[in-house]
Structure 1
Amino acid sequence: GLAIDVLINNAGFGGHGKFHERDWTADKAMIQLNVVTLTGLTRLLLPGMVARGHGRILNLASMAAFLPGPLQAVYYATKAFVLSFSEAIANELEGTGVTVTVLCPGATETGFAATGGLEDVKAFANADAPDGVARAGYAGMLRGKTVVVPSLAKKIATRLPGLLPRGLVTRISRATMEQSDG
């Protein structure tokens, strides 16, 4: 059969709005793609990698994984799952020759903002170029790094929530998801 040694779980989408006002079908589809499909592909390919004694998995999460996400509650929760799942199985796989890397970029210039109705959201005002984000994730995967955050400023930003009161972090997170004034 076909031996797959590298799995890159890069499919996903988000959505914007208050949870109770969002389309439940869209949110279920988001959970299906961002969580269930990623987990299923990993489960499907991981046993072969372990049996062969080598393999690499790169899962795409987001800086959202480190925060509560008002106005993107389901998206942030799915990315928190991806981060936790990736860190957990990376630990389980130590010594097998298989590594798991989770890439946690901030806003990136892809079709994500347009698809999720986020074009006018403050967090996307200074989005990163996708090639730099991809290079950081790929390099981290090749080094066997577990968590990759593509820039020093963003690494610092992922640490701040643990130093601040959770309610304040939630309010700041919401402010970044508000519509910009133009």
Structure 2
Amino acid sequence: MDKNTKQSHPNTGLATVVQQQQALAHPVAESVKAATRPRAGQPTKRTDEVVEEILDRIANGESLINICQDGHLPGYSTFNRWQREDLELLSMVDVAYQFHARTMDDMADSILCGGIGSTGDFKRDEARVGHLRYRLGKLNRRFAEKQQIEVIHHEPVIIDMQIIEGPGGDGV
């Protein structure tokens, strides 16, 4: 018996996790299909007013999936098709997502200050802000984690007319 996991066979825990993931895969795929499928009665005709409303709502922090749930707006897959077919629209959506990132940054600050969006539960607010910051880094490089990279240049050093390989004369 494994005293850390309290299981008789060490592979049993792994099999259980895999089984749980497999059990969740189908419901997750079905909910994605349900959220992104076109709904009867949703318009498929593109108008400037519809595009403008979608861009405004993206810029104000709403997710495209939620926006496309409104009956007077096109479905998620329809709007994505419009973007694939029109690079100018794709560019406008990218700009809207830049503003979306700023809105999410403001929301994160508000939550941390106990303002709008705060649940009052510190742990939950902290987790929500962590998720917002993660998404910010994906949406806009301006908000990404800064990485410091140290570059070390290795050159051979010549001492007494012999070449010593390594980081610089220490014989390594």
Calculate the TM-score normalised by the size of structure 1: 0.26
For normalisation by structure 2, the TM-score amounts to: 0.27
More strand by percentage: 1
Comparing both chains, which one has the higher relative contact order based on Cα–Cα distances under 8 Å and sequence gaps of 6 or more?
1
